[in-house]
Amino acid sequence: MSNERRVGVKVFQAEKSTESQLEIAALRLFEGIDRQELRSNRIFTVDDHFWINGPNGRHLCLVVQVLGLAMNYKLRGVGLDTPDLLSDLCFQAAQSLMYLHTKKICHGDFRADHMRLQLDHDAMSNVGIYDLFGKPKVWHLDDSEGEDSRPDYLVEPVNLIGLEKSFRTGKIAIDSFASSYRAATGRDNSQTRIEKAKTFVAEHNLCDQVEYVEQYDGTTKFPYRLQPGEVELLTNLLRDMLRSNPDERISIDEVLQHKWFEASRKHLGVIYGSYTTEPMSDDAALMRSYRAR
């Protein structure tokens, strides 16, 4: 059928299947917003959900869009040796974040784990399922013990690396809205919970990175070069984003208008108010051509 499309199904363990599952509860935040509008702004929520009964209990199943691997995964062709693509993806992520904020929605867990690359679903729909993933590897279990709750067989997880590389679009996708909440004036309870949490302290994780930088002896050869002017622009952007006083940090709108993103704005053809209505400046053009060497 011409209207068929590939979807993913996430099946929860019976003990973790609840009517109030957070991903489903988060859908209330997007009520009244057309799904196509969300997709065009790279927002990918749960499409649908249903329940199945199994020997271990009742399982919640979420229907989701088939997306590539998370951005924190070491994807081939997406790395420090492709700085243009990385800056474009960062720009797209910032755009999506601004869109959420215009809808008064806080993602709550906005990080690379919850950012993926979109796949070309039109191209995927013309390929057979076995051609996409290969034939499933099935492990049949010994049922001599007669345990009713044990499955008859297990299927090895598919390798998504080849699929992601073959159908990559260069467009980012924001998902995982289990921690999202509606922004309101005044202090939000979610912020209070974050401040009380003791399981994650950013400074501890940053210390390891600082030590790594201090130990760098300057002999490592990197597969790319950065123009000194670009380093200064990126430093300026990060400093303004990460100021210790929240009131002094630049807004997401100012992030998108920052000069470090000028090449990405032009490359992606973005025209938003004052974002980019002019040709790429000489500095931005030089930055992009310099990186490509």
DSSP 147-191: -TTS-SEEEPPP--HHHHHHTEEEEEEE---TT-EE--SS--HHH
pLDDT at 92: 94
Q: Residue 11 is inside which H or E element, if any? A: strand 7-11
pLDDT at 278: 40
**For the CA atoms of 225, 227, 231, 236, what is the dihedral angle to 10 degrees?**
-150
Which candidate, 283, 36, 258, 69, places its Cα nearest to that of 158? 69
pLDDT at 101: 92
pLDDT at 200: 47
Q: Which amino acid is at 265?
A: R
Which candidate, 63, 74, 79, places its Cα nearest to that of 23? 63
- The pTM of the full predicted model, rounded to 2 decimals, is 0.74
Greatest alpha-carbon span in the chain: 73
pLDDT at 144: 61
pLDDT at 277: 34
pLDDT at 222: 61
Give the CA count within 13 Å in the CB-facing half-sphere of 89.
Answer: 25
CB 58 within 8 A of CB 231: no
Domain ranges in the chain are: 7-215, 224-293
Which candidate, 63, 72, 64, places its Cα nearest to that of 117? 72
Task: Give the CATH fold of the 7-215 domain.
Answer: Transferase(Phosphotransferase); domain 1 (1.10.510)
Query: Residue 55: what are its φ and ψ, rounded to 5°?
Result: -65, -20
Q: How far is CA 120 from CA 6, 23, 105, 132, 196, in A?
A: 11, 24, 28, 12, 42
Helix (H, G, I), strand (E, B) or coil at 65: strand
Query: Residue 138: what are its φ and ψ, rounded to 5°?
Result: -110, 135
Q: How far is CA 220 from CA 153, 224, 232, in A?
A: 48, 12, 21
Under-50 pLDDT residues of the chain = 1, 185-202, 211-212, 271-293
